[in-house]
Structure 1
Amino acid sequence: MGEKNYIGPDAIIDKKKEYLIPCVYHFYKNPMQLVRAKGKYFYDQAGKEYLDLFAGVSVMNAGHCHPEITDRVCEQVKTLQHTCTIYLNQPIVDLAEKLAEVTPGNLKKSFFVNSGTEANEGALLLAKLYTGNSEYIALKQGLHGRTHLTMSITGLSFWRTDPNPAGGISFAPDAYCYRCPYGLEYPGCDLKCARAIRDVIETSTSKQVAALIAEPIQGNGGIITPPPEYFKVVRDILDEYGALLIIDEVQTGFGRTGKMFAIENWGVTPDIMTMAKALGNGVPIGAFTATEEVADVYTRPGASTLGGNPVSATAGLATLKVIEEEKLTENAAEVGLYFKNGLENLAKRHRIIGDVRGLGLMLGAELVKENKEPAPDETDLVLEKMKDRGILIGKNGPSRNVLAFQPPLIINKKDVEQVIATLDEVLNEVEKEAGLD
Structure 2
Amino acid sequence: MAMILARKLLQRRSPQLLRWQSSFPQAAVKNDVASRASAELELPPFDYAPPPYSGPSGDEILAKRREYLSPSLFHFYKNPLNVVEGKKQYLFDEKGKRYLDAFGGIATVCCGHCHPDVVDAIINQTKRLQHSTVLYLNHAIADFAQALASKLPGNLKVVFFTNSGTEANELAIMIARLYTGCHDIISLRNAYHGNAAGTMGATAQSIWKFNVVQSGVHHVVNPDPYRGIFGSDGEKYARDVQDVINFGTSGNVAAFISEAIQGVGGIVELAPGYLPAAYSMVKKAGGLCIADEVQAGFARIGSHFWGFESHGVVPDIVTMAKGIGNGIPLGAVVTTPEIAEVLTRRCYFNTFGGNPVCTAAGLAVLKVIEKEKLQQNALLVGSYLKERLTALKDKYELIGDVRGRGLMLGVELVADRELKTPAKAETLHVMDQMKELGVLIGKGGYYGNVFRITPPLCFTKEDADFLADAMDLTLSRM
For residue 58 of structure 1, report the CA deviation from its aligned partner: 4.0
Residue 387 of structure 1: aligned partner: 435
1:128-165 per-position Cα deviation (integer Å, ceiling 9, x unaligned):
11111111011000111111111111112244225x42
Q: Is the 8 A contact 2:443 2:450 kept in 1?
A: yes
Q: Secondary structure at the match of 1:153?
A: helix
For residue 415 of structure 1, report the CA deviation from its aligned partner: 1.1
Q: Which amino acid aligns with 1:368?
A: V
Residue 367 of structure 1: aligned partner: 413
For residues 251 and 158 of structure 1, the distance between their equivalents in structure 2, rounded to whole angstroms, comes to: 21
Q: Secondary structure at the match of 1:420?
A: helix
Q: Secondary structure at the match of 2:110?
A: coil
Q: Secondary structure at the match of 1:110?
A: strand
For residue 57 of structure 1, report the CA deviation from its aligned partner: 3.0
1:351-386 per-position Cα deviation (integer Å, ceiling 9, x unaligned):
011011111100001000122110111111111001
Residue 251 of structure 1: aligned partner: 295
Q: Is the 8 A contact 2:291 2:318 kept in 1?
A: yes
Residue 113 of structure 1: aligned partner: 162
Structure 1 residue 9 corresponds to structure 2 residue 46: no
Residue 210 of structure 2: aligned partner: 161
**Alpha-carbon spacing, 1:257–1:58, altered in 2? closer, same or farther (3 Å):** farther
Residue 423 of structure 1: aligned partner: 471
Residue 32 of structure 1: aligned partner: 81
For residue 13 of structure 1, report the CA deviation from its aligned partner: 1.3
For residues 34 and 136 of structure 1, the distance between their equivalents in structure 2, rounded to whole angstroms, comes to: 40
For residue 206 of structure 1, report the CA deviation from its aligned partner: 2.4
For structure 1, list consecutive stretches of 5 or more residues without a partner in the other structure: 431-437
Residue 322 of structure 2: aligned partner: 277
Q: Is the 8 A contact 2:105 2:457 kept in 1?
A: no
Structure 1 residue 75 corresponds to structure 2 residue 124: yes
Residue 205 of structure 1: aligned partner: 249
Residue 235 of structure 1: aligned partner: 279
Q: Secondary structure at the match of 1:122?
A: helix
For residue 342 of structure 1, report the CA deviation from its aligned partner: 1.0
For residue 4 of structure 1, report the CA deviation from its aligned partner: 6.0
State, as a whole percentage, how many aligned pairs show the same letter. 45
For residues 422 and 244 of structure 2, the distance between their equivalents in structure 1, rounded to whole angstroms, comes to: 28
Residue 306 of structure 2: aligned partner: 261
Aligned residue pair count: 425
Q: Write the mapping of 1:343-358 to structure 2, written as runs, cut at 5 A.
A: 343-358=389-404
Q: Secondary structure at the match of 1:160?
A: coil
Residue 196 of structure 1: aligned partner: 240
**Alpha-carbon spacing, 1:427–1:207, altered in 2? closer, same or farther (3 Å):** same
For residue 425 of structure 1, report the CA deviation from its aligned partner: 0.6
For residues 406 and 16 of structure 1, the distance between their equivalents in structure 2, rounded to whole angstroms, comes to: 27
Structure 1 residue 150 corresponds to structure 2 residue 195: no
The CA RMSD over aligned residues, in Å, is: 1.4
Q: Which amino acid aligns with 2:392?
A: L
Q: Secondary structure at the match of 1:242?
A: coil
Q: Which amino acid aligns with 2:442?
A: G
Residue 336 of structure 1: aligned partner: 382
Residue 414 of structure 1: aligned partner: 462
Q: Secondary structure at the match of 1:37?
A: strand
For residue 5 of structure 1, report the CA deviation from its aligned partner: 2.7
For residues 57 and 266 of structure 1, the distance between their equivalents in structure 2, rounded to whole angstroms, comes to: 21
Residue 340 of structure 2: aligned partner: 295
Q: Secondary structure at the match of 1:294?
A: helix
User: Structure 1 segments of 4 or more deviating over 3 A?
Assistant: 1-4
Q: Secondary structure at the match of 1:120?
A: helix
Q: Write the mapping of 1:50-129 to structure 2, written as runs, cut at 5 A.
A: 50-55=99-104, 57-129=106-178
Residue 37 of structure 2: aligned partner: none
For residues 353 and 157 of structure 2, the distance between their equivalents in structure 1, rounded to whole angstroms, comes to: 18
For residues 257 and 441 of structure 2, the distance between their equivalents in structure 1, rounded to whole angstroms, comes to: 27
Residue 9 of structure 2: aligned partner: none
Q: Is the 8 A contact 2:231 2:271 kept in 1?
A: no
For residue 3 of structure 1, report the CA deviation from its aligned partner: 4.6
For residue 11 of structure 1, report the CA deviation from its aligned partner: 1.3
Q: Write the mapping of 1:162-181 to structure 2, written as runs, cut at 5 A.
A: 164-180=212-228
For residue 417 of structure 1, report the CA deviation from its aligned partner: 1.0
For residue 56 of structure 1, report the CA deviation from its aligned partner: 5.2
For residue 195 of structure 1, report the CA deviation from its aligned partner: 2.2
Q: Which has the larger radius of gyration?
A: 2
For structure 2, list consecutive stretches of 5 or more residues without a partner in the other structure: 1-49
1:236-280 per-position Cα deviation (integer Å, ceiling 9, x unaligned):
111211111001001111010012111111111100000011110
Compute the TM-score of the two structures, normalised by the length of structure 1: 0.95
**Alpha-carbon spacing, 1:291–1:339, altered in 2? closer, same or farther (3 Å):** same
Residue 373 of structure 2: aligned partner: 327
For residue 47 of structure 1, report the CA deviation from its aligned partner: 0.3
Compute the TM-score of the two structures, normalised by the length of structure 2: 0.87
For residue 2 of structure 1, report the CA deviation from its aligned partner: 6.7
1:330-358 per-position Cα deviation (integer Å, ceiling 9, x unaligned):
11111111111111111000101101111
Q: Is the 8 A contact 2:260 2:293 kept in 1?
A: yes
For residues 396 and 220 of structure 1, the distance between their equivalents in structure 2, rounded to whole angstroms, comes to: 5
